[in-house]
Structure 1
Amino acid sequence: LRVLSYNIGGLVNKLMFPSFFVFLNNYEIVALYETFLVQNDCYKYEKYFPGFYLKWVGASKLKSKGRASGGVLLGIRNCLPINIHCKFVKINDWDIIEVEAAADKFYIIPVYLNFSSWENDFAKLNNLMSMLENRCVLLGDINARLAERQIIPDFIAEEECLLSCSRQSKDSVLNKRGLDFLEMCDDSELIILNGRSQGDPYGEYTYISGRGSSVIDICCVSASFLSRVKNFKVLSKTYTQHMPIEIALEFADFANFNCINAPLLSRLIWTRQDELHFKSKLENKINQMNVEQTGNSEIELNVITNCIVECAYFGKQLGNRKNFKPSKHQWFDTECKKYREISFRFLNIFRKRNNNFTKNLYLEANNKYKEICFSKRDEYYRSLKEQFKKIKESKDLWDLLKRFKTTNFINESKISGEQFRNYFYLLLNPVLTAPEILYAEPYWSDKELDKVITLSELKNTLGKAHNNKAPGLDSIPYEFFKNCPENVLLQIVSIFNSFYNSGRCPLSFTESVIYPLYKKGDVHSVNNYRGISFINVVAKLFSGILLTRLWNWINFNNILNEFQAGFRPGYSTVDHIFTLFNLIKIILSKKRQKVYAFFVDFKAAFDCIDRRALFFKLANQGLSYKFIRILKSLYSDTRVTIWHKEGLTDFFNTSVGLRQGCLLSPLLFALYLNDLCEYIGEGMDIAGINIRCLLYADDVVMLTSSPVKLQRMINRLDDYCRRWGLNINLAKSKIMVFRNGGRMSRYEKWSVNGKPIEVVSEYKYLGLIVTPKLSLGRHFSERISHAKLGLNTTWHNIMLRKDVPYSAKLEVFHSVSRAVIGYGSQAWGFERFEELERVRRFFIRKLFSLPRYAPGYILAHETGIPSVHSYTIKVHFDYVVRFLEMPDFRLPAILAKEVINKKVYWYQKWLELGEKYDIQFSITEITDLRDKLFSIRQRLDKSEKEYNLSKCMQPKYLLYSQLCTSVCVPYLNDGMDLLSMKWIFKCRTELLNLNSKPWSQDNTDICSLCNSREKEDTYHFIGKCKILSEMRVKWLGKKSYTKKEVLSLLNGPNWGPLVMYVRVASLYRAELISEFNW
């Protein structure tokens, strides 16, 4: 289905171009704007569109002379494919197109926001979007500038092949209207396609004239509908100053296609039957095999893995994908399947015998089946609350939200297995440019590193392993090893010791499967795929034991310097964010100071590591000979095969780089770069230490207070990279000059090997967008957009489900606040940012179907949902106090104490809050400090509640000004259904869709139904309107109610009759207004 959107700048002047109408005939649906035709003239031009059903929206003409303004023409071809049905519909006085295709129902929303009446047009569009479900295609001339705004999370872009996370645009202007439109997109789960699709990768101009060029013709698609988008383009036509935009949708049956990101390999599925019987079956099987008598450790290990496969419930069917079809419902497990089979069995018996006895057996079995299903479903949705409660990081949130994405972009790749093999062979075997290192390998020994592997080490590694992880070639996931009997684990330990003592690993430990994961661009180009590597779980268990020993050795000997925080227990990205922010704020607290930062990006850093240089560096740092020998065995003959739809390719060897998927790789990389800080020199002195750079794995930022020093550091970095085989990616490596204001000097320029390095005004460092003044506006804008998208992703599967309790829905919101909004709040959470509170208002408005004008203070007071700031300041307080107790060598602790000494940044705010609330605290008394900071948080929460209450008590709120202070029977709880909560909420807060609003003084506020000439407010609607008196009698027992009686109704506890009355009365009111146009 091809859809065209085009601002034609007048239809009459297109009559001289026959090719224009030929062009339109290429599309099934067309939306043309600015026809400049008033309604009475439209019929004259229908003859030019013989192949279309037409819908005209007349242009407006305010003066008798001159042309009309605006005008829209919508067209639907009169010969569509048999499985596609389209029709014009009008919703909220907006003409749109309803499409039904391949069991999908969605809306195409043509948009023309007139420049002269933009605010009114946009308000109508906003109301329309709040009424529609999230399956929309919105396109047209929005007369707003968006720049490159709207970055979407990786989990959306990775699964939707059309998209990239960030948008490109040749129009760099962002105006107020653009910000309003972007906020509507976030609220309505709309993803902008301009500048992020295959057909428009650069964000081409859609308006080109002598006055300027811009991107104002936009196409947006609901996130849940992205899988239907085939392509989006900005076309090149010269009929007008605007360029037409085109979106292509496809509705082929997904069963006829292969998914690009299809499941990797057959894997053993851990089932309920395995929980009951696997351990005993494996123990008996192993005892019969006499594994220990073979004398060959590799053969013994193969015997054990084969026994695991044979004893698994689905082991005999391994490799047959048909046995592993996932259920439509995630709660539908093997027990549900079992009772369904029993129900069908009795149904077939009843059909054959047709007597009451077999009928009763069937009904009993079917009732049991339904009972089990309902129980599993309820248990599943109750458990979601706990799952969301555990979420603290955005990655965990997106991983959980992926469960609720019901669509995937489907396509058929034409890339052969051999093409993939050749591509990854070259990628994983780069040419080494560094000189070969020749050295006499020292014979270091270490008692802890070289000792015998124990059962407790294996169990410890198994305890850290996560379930539901993809296995390697042997198809055995962690769950089976976790449930092995102890005698089997002891045999595995014995086998591991044999490998460790001999210094030789089996071939299977060096093998991995690479899965080509599509990124973006042409699906038929190998360059648009990245590899994900999978290694046998038993090999990862062996590596996990080595990893724990390596960490213990590093920590005991203080090998890693404090500037490396990547993949390090007790360290995190926020440590470096906190350190960077504090360092900058301390330096900039002095006048005319600057901090120069070079954010370094290495090209394929993990893949380019010279293994010879790695082992040299490990030996140089004192790692034992025995440990290095086993590492060499793991890396000596690494072999890779590529998964493809045709199967597995032939293996090929790799001799460069660290192994993806190996548990040891991140730490080995950190050890490889461990000498970088010392090598580059310079840096800056602060709080008695010299800070030169901060490293998080391969994310490096070099810091200094002098532009000359920075260039010297860059030169040293370049020399380091040449010596150790690393490459700086200048396209992504940037410099930022942190300063309080003013322009940069023309001498502040830097280069690598004569190539200039770009100086930028914003940079995303470890997931947080920083600017020269450390302002967080851009970061918050992106995080708010992601948070709304995260909430929208769950809406149909969680928020609107009756069987999901209210508390679980709240927990989803809190998890989004923690993982998305609150990221980095350890550094900035002491301040309140009003833009972040918009997410709370958005959630409450959407959950209870409230109008956009609903005041935030009423929403906060009625729900009692705490502010985002109450969470972020807690995170900040807890983080700082935790580091004040940590050893003095930790960077965040050093910088935190310096901030306290200088009374700047967050500590200055602490002192202000303490003075405001008359709370004195001492930094040296940690227990007392915790109590005092808790008191400050309580006072802040109390202050917000008092403010909200004072606003709610304004006289303009006839009812709520008294309800907000009275005792109400709780209705926002797990025992109340969401629909009832919505109606009660609207009634209590005076947010029903009536003519009179509490803040309005308009003469049109009078009741649309009765002739009493009274304001149609909530009190009149519930207690007085004569037209509704019969319904009032039926549901509430009286013809009319006094104000006092209405207040009593709105305080509960008899909510049922009130909800029924308001629902029926609202529907009746809408029907009367629609029928008689009141």
Structure 2
Amino acid sequence: MTYRLNLYILNRVCVKGDHPGEFTFFSGGKTSTIDYIAISRDLIPFAKALKIMPKPESDHFPVLLHLHGFSQEIHLTESYRLPLQLTEGFYKRVKWTLQVNQRITDLLKTERLTSLRTSLISAENANALMETYRNIVQELQSQLSQGNNTERTQLQRQPHQQSQTWFDKECLSAKKALSTVYQSFKFNPTSTTAQDLLLQKRQYKQLLTRKKREAIKNNWERLIEAIKAKDTTTFWRITSNIQSRDQTAVDSQISPASWEVYFQELYRDTYSENAGRYVCPNISMESLPSWPPVTTAEIESLVAQLKPGKAPGEDAIPPEVIKNNLDFWSPILASLFTCIDKYGQIPKDWGMAVIVPIYKRKGRQDDPANYRPISLLNTISKIYTRHLYWKLLDWMEQENILAEEQAGFREGRSTIDQCIVLQHLIEKYTSQRTSSLYAAFIDFRAAFDSISRIKLWEKLGSTSIDKRLLQLIRSLHEGTTLKIRCSSQGHLTRAVETEKGVKQGCTLAPLLFNFYINSMVEHLYNLDYHPPKLAERHLSILLYADDAVLLSRTQVGLKRALRALAKYCSAEQLHLNFQKTKIMEFAKRPKNHTWRLDGHNIEQVSRFKYLGVFFHCTGNRKVHADYVAETAQKSSHAILKFLKTGGGHYIPAALKLFEAKPIAQMMYGAQLGPYPNFAPLEQVQSKFLRSTMQVPRCVSNAILRLETGLVRVEARAWIATLNYWLHLSHSPCGLAPLTLRDEFQSTWNKVVATKIATLGFSQKHLLSMGWDQAKVHIRQRILDTERQSDLACSPVFNISADNRYTITPMAYLTNLEVPNHRKAFTLARCHALPSAVLEGRYRKTPALERLCPCESGHIETIEHVLLQCMFYRDIRINFITPWLLKHPGRTERYYTSLLLSDSCSAITYSVARFCAAAISIRRTMTDPTGPVARAICYI
């Protein structure tokens, strides 16, 4: 080939004075040259040097060729970007690691920090205390943030993929030791040095394997933690093997000035300009009743509510600094919060937020409106607002300030509560052929950022709220500013003043917003709007924070309610998003109508996703079942991809993650009652299990569920539904419990009653035993029923007196770490080893004719393979016979159950090795075009 292509191999004597090339391959103590570089004969004059690069950790060594005097035009690729004219402001925090944690812990023990801590606790006035607090923050900030480096390169290169994080100092030291041994062998290639190199190489590879395995388990744990924390970004980043990088404005080339103009316009309060900035004057703190001092116990309770892993504000102090050094911070924060409560003096840096714009992945990237602003606030300020949050919440609940129609961010209420109320009303008013229910799903534009602070203070001031609490909340919102991080290097814009809106990311924001729009319920309560009734209560609107649904029994009534809403929004500085606001008519045969409001058309749709649940105009729940099945399937594919690439085929963690993500996605909305068809949901689970366990299609789904400890999705849905029924029966909060007391009995109520009776319970008995105990009984009864149903489909050998299936995965899935061993043992337990029996299933061969090719005349069953077949005699003697000799005189069925019951990890390991070897032997006897061969390829 080299002669035909006019190529010349350089790994040999090419020109006079040249010397033969070195070996490029080392394995088993022997060397050879099997890696070559071949070039055109025309390029030989440009060849300067040929080097064999040392890479002792591999069997093959890289070959490097230097060409002298040969050049080609090099273009500037898209990985380089021209710099923006950035400001000098800089925000770049240090990544939190164990080393940083130790450094901060040591810093807090220094004489300087200890002295500042003592000074703050014993400060006699507010100014001295605040000054000492600022000094403490500055000391920490210098260690937790990177300095402002304005001398950056003119061409900012995009970050490359980082090296493997698991390759630590231990791996580096082992690699250096291997390199040293390799050099000794290279210059003195004897049998002794070769054996030393082989031993060192084997130890190095074992170390890498262990480190990889630890890293894989760590990644699985991170995934599960991300799901529990509802951190979808981390989930998709890990499963997609995407390196973490900022998706900020640096990718869109939006200038800092453009960001400043956009946010200045967004947060400019026209109401304060028209009404006067001092409509609601401040209150003197000295004239108000005092609060008791904040205790260290309260501080510890507040800090415990902090979620770790959250990005800090401009001070760069993450939650871990407080949570991991509570003894240092408790008295400091107790003194600081007591001082703030007394004098109302807020640290200046608490009013500044760092905005990180995240592209929404739709629309032009140079338009700031297409970015979602994420607000980063100082951690200590968030602890203090949590201190005020509980006081504000207690007042709201004790005084019944918020309307029952509002369920957002309220204890004992959830999105599902609003959905079941809506579903109940839909069925109630569409049960007759001619009746309808009209709903307008309202979308507010930048709702939290739109409300007028002056109107908010006026509304709060007219209530019975503690005036000290009101003044403190006002102080937190005075002089607030923000800076936009406009590059992934941490550059910040100039400060932009925010005059309206509640502070995004602040704990108080949801409560304040709920209070601000609370009057909307009263404004829309009018019988002329023809509202539906729920247990004798008229409902014109359902609210979950800023998600609103207007309800009416007639088209005319809904139009009146929409006009009233528009008038309310105009008065309260709220803005309707007419493009995203949708209208639905729920009916047996819905009709299309024309809807207009304030000169804007509003679209009528046949389905809409409200609070994560899809509703169809006919009330059919199939549309939501298809939606959650599709969503869960995407997550399932991501988990499988990670399992087979970076997940190391670690099945137990994959099963946990499947329950935490795809199962949870399929269960959302399942509380609203059974779907008309569970097949799409069951298919998501069965596909995942079959791909994870690597078994052919002939293995039933029931067996896979038993092996993995999972149950049918339908069973989980029933558990969720009955638990929710218990919740409604025991909880008096909100509107959802009224669905049980309404005169109209919905289908949901009927199927719940039927299911409870089918399980052998009575409603009265379940309610009498208490919520927690009833949940346990319901779950156990359903799981027992499911297990019995699945066991009827399992092989007989798996059912023994001392080994029953449980709700956890079988032990071998964890104990067998080698994927091939685990796969082979799974196939044996499922009666799916490559055999004439398996081939007969595909070719529909009569059962008695599925004979083993060993010509013994026996059917090639799993018993025959394990105990009799002469093809596997040698490996049987090594792996299986020693275990059989310990139990002489037993039946074949007993021996098969002993070997495959997974009751002893040592037996399981031996049988797994036998089955893996048997599959390899059987492959040599298989027709390459037959069904068994295709099954083996699938496996």
Normalising by structure 2, we get a TM-score of 0.72
Answering whether residue 466 of structure 2 is matched by residue 466 of structure 1, we say no
Answering whether residue 916 of structure 2 is matched by residue 1055 of structure 1, we say no
Answering whether residue 566 of structure 2 is matched by residue 733 of structure 1, we say no
User: What's the offset of the Cα at 1:706?
Assistant: 2.4
Query: What secondary structure, in the 3-state scheme, does the structure 1 residue paired with 2:387 have?
Result: helix
User: What's the offset of the Cα at 1:829?
Assistant: 5.7
Query: What secondary structure, in the 3-state scheme, does the structure 1 residue paired with 2:725 have?
Result: helix
Deviations 1:823-872 (A, max 9, x none): 12332269883332223312321211123454222323444422223333
2:751 counterpart residue number: 909
Answering whether residue 247 of structure 2 is matched by residue 429 of structure 1, we say no
1:16 counterpart residue number: none
Letter in 1 for 2:482: V
**Aligned equivalents of 1:704 and 1:449: distance in 2?**
47
Letter in 2 for 1:909: V
1:975 counterpart residue number: 815
- CA 659–385 in structure 1, closer or farther in 2 if over 3 Å, else same: closer
2:565 counterpart residue number: 717
**Aligned equivalents of 1:630 and 1:306: distance in 2?**
23
- Structure with the greater relative contact order (CA < 8 A, sep ≥ 6): 1 or 2? 2
Letter in 2 for 1:756: N
**Aligned equivalents of 1:993 and 1:298: distance in 2?**
81
- 1:138-217 correspondence runs (5 A): none
Letter in 1 for 2:630: S
**Aligned equivalents of 1:407 and 1:591: distance in 2?**
53
Q: Pick from 391, 409, 415: which aligns with 2:254?
A: 415
Q: Pick from 613, 617, 623: which aligns with 1:768?
A: 613
8 Å contact kept, 1:588–1:594: yes
**Aligned equivalents of 1:865 and 1:726: distance in 2?**
48
- 1:942-1021 correspondence runs (5 A): 942-952=784-794, 960=795, 963=798, 971-977=811-817, 978-992=819-833, 996=838, 999-1000=841-842, 1002=844
8 Å contact kept, 1:829–1:875: no
User: What's the offset of the Cα at 1:341?
Assistant: 8.9
- CA 453–785 in structure 1, closer or farther in 2 if over 3 Å, else same: farther
- CA 267–547 in structure 1, closer or farther in 2 if over 3 Å, else same: farther
Query: What secondary structure, in the 3-state scheme, does the structure 2 residue paired with 1:454 have?
Result: coil
- CA 304–498 in structure 1, closer or farther in 2 if over 3 Å, else same: closer
8 Å contact kept, 1:750–1:757: yes
- CA 720–946 in structure 1, closer or farther in 2 if over 3 Å, else same: same
1:451 counterpart residue number: 291
**Aligned equivalents of 2:535 and 2:112: distance in 1?**
60
1:406 counterpart residue number: 241
**Aligned equivalents of 1:890 and 1:865: distance in 2?**
34
**Is the deviation greater in 791-800 or in 621-630?**
791-800
8 Å contact kept, 1:472–1:537: yes
Letter in 2 for 1:793: A
**Aligned equivalents of 1:296 and 1:443: distance in 2?**
20
Answering whether residue 491 of structure 2 is matched by residue 655 of structure 1, we say no
**Aligned equivalents of 2:788 and 2:482: distance in 1?**
64
Q: Pick from 207, 217, 221: which aligns with 1:381?
A: 217
- CA 1056–463 in structure 1, closer or farther in 2 if over 3 Å, else same: closer
**Aligned equivalents of 2:707 and 2:96: distance in 1?**
47
Answering whether residue 692 of structure 2 is matched by residue 847 of structure 1, we say yes
8 Å contact kept, 2:879–2:911: yes
User: What's the offset of the Cα at 1:678?
Assistant: 0.9
**Aligned equivalents of 1:434 and 1:652: distance in 2?**
17
- CA 450–484 in structure 1, closer or farther in 2 if over 3 Å, else same: farther
- CA 1074–266 in structure 1, closer or farther in 2 if over 3 Å, else same: farther
Query: What secondary structure, in the 3-state scheme, does the structure 2 residue paired with 1:919 have?
Result: coil
Q: Pick from 334, 338, 354: which aligns with 1:513?
A: 354
User: What's the offset of the Cα at 1:450?
Assistant: 5.6
User: What's the offset of the Cα at 1:315?
Assistant: 4.9
2:718 counterpart residue number: 873
User: What's the offset of the Cα at 1:720?
Assistant: 0.5
Deviations 1:320-378 (A, max 9, x none): 899x999867778xxx76x7799899999999999xxxxx9xx99x9999999969975
The alignment of Structure 1 onto Structure 2 pairs a total of residues equal to 798
**Is the deviation greater in 452-461 or in 813-822?**
452-461
- CA 442–277 in structure 1, closer or farther in 2 if over 3 Å, else same: closer
Q: What are structure 1's unaligned runs of at least 5 residues?
A: 1-78, 80-249, 355-359, 953-959
8 Å contact kept, 1:641–1:651: yes
Deviations 1:250-283 (A, max 9, x none): 9989799999xxx962247363515753543378
8 Å contact kept, 1:971–1:981: no
User: What's the offset of the Cα at 1:608?
Assistant: 1.7
8 Å contact kept, 1:470–1:477: yes
**Aligned equivalents of 2:712 and 2:790: distance in 1?**
12
- CA 252–468 in structure 1, closer or farther in 2 if over 3 Å, else same: farther
8 Å contact kept, 1:1006–1:1015: yes
**Aligned equivalents of 1:344 and 1:1075: distance in 2?**
43
**Is the deviation greater in 1029-1038 or in 412-421?**
1029-1038
User: What's the offset of the Cα at 1:1020?
Assistant: 6.8
**Aligned equivalents of 1:587 and 1:930: distance in 2?**
34
Query: What secondary structure, in the 3-state scheme, does the structure 2 residue paired with 1:637 have?
Result: coil
**Aligned equivalents of 1:679 and 1:599: distance in 2?**
17
Q: Pick from 516, 525, 543: which aligns with 1:672?
A: 516
**Aligned equivalents of 2:461 and 2:81: distance in 1?**
56
**Aligned equivalents of 1:1026 and 1:543: distance in 2?**
76
Deviations 1:206-259 (A, max 9, x none): xxxxxxxxxxxxxxxxxxxxxxxxxxxxxxxxxxxxxxxxxxxx9989799999
Letter in 2 for 1:816: K
Deviations 1:545-582 (A, max 9, x none): 22222112212211111221222333322222233223
1:479 counterpart residue number: 320
Answering whether residue 917 of structure 2 is matched by residue 1064 of structure 1, we say yes
**Aligned equivalents of 1:352 and 1:893: distance in 2?**
78
**Aligned equivalents of 2:703 and 2:644: distance in 1?**
21
- 1:892-903 correspondence runs (5 A): 892-898=736-742, 902-903=744-745
8 Å contact kept, 2:615–2:624: yes
**Aligned equivalents of 1:863 and 1:672: distance in 2?**
50
Query: What secondary structure, in the 3-state scheme, does the structure 1 residue paired with 2:577 have?
Result: coil
**Aligned equivalents of 1:983 and 1:351: distance in 2?**
38
**Aligned equivalents of 2:822 and 2:661: distance in 1?**
22
1:695 counterpart residue number: 543
2:47 counterpart residue number: none
Deviations 1:895-914 (A, max 9, x none): 2333xx65432331233234
What is the root-mean-square deviation in Å for CA atoms of aligned residues?
A: 5.0
Q: Pick from 589, 596, 601: which aligns with 1:751?
A: 596
Q: Pick from 391, 413, 417: which aligns with 1:549?
A: 391
1:705 counterpart residue number: 553
Deviations 1:47-75 (A, max 9, x none): xxxxxxxxxxxxxxxxxxxxxxxxxxxxx
- 1:820-831 correspondence runs (5 A): 820-828=665-673
8 Å contact kept, 2:285–2:468: yes
**Aligned equivalents of 2:173 and 2:460: distance in 1?**
62
2:422 counterpart residue number: 580
Q: What are structure 2's unaligned runs of at least 5 residues?
A: 1-39, 41-74, 85-89, 153-158, 186-195, 805-809, 883-889, 934-939
Query: What secondary structure, in the 3-state scheme, does the structure 1 residue paired with 2:477 have?
Result: helix
Deviations 1:727-768 (A, max 9, x none): 2112111112223x2243x6x543312533222111111111
1:684 counterpart residue number: 532
Letter in 2 for 1:418: A
Letter in 1 for 2:612: G
Larger radius of gyration: 2
- 1:86-101 correspondence runs (5 A): none
8 Å contact kept, 2:439–2:551: yes
8 Å contact kept, 1:309–1:315: no
Query: What secondary structure, in the 3-state scheme, does the structure 2 residue paired with 1:560 have?
Result: coil
Letter in 2 for 1:892: A
1:788 counterpart residue number: 633
Deviations 1:136-176 (A, max 9, x none): xxxxxxxxxxxxxxxxxxxxxxxxxxxxxxxxxxxxxxxxx
**Is the deviation greater in 710-719 or in 424-433?**
424-433
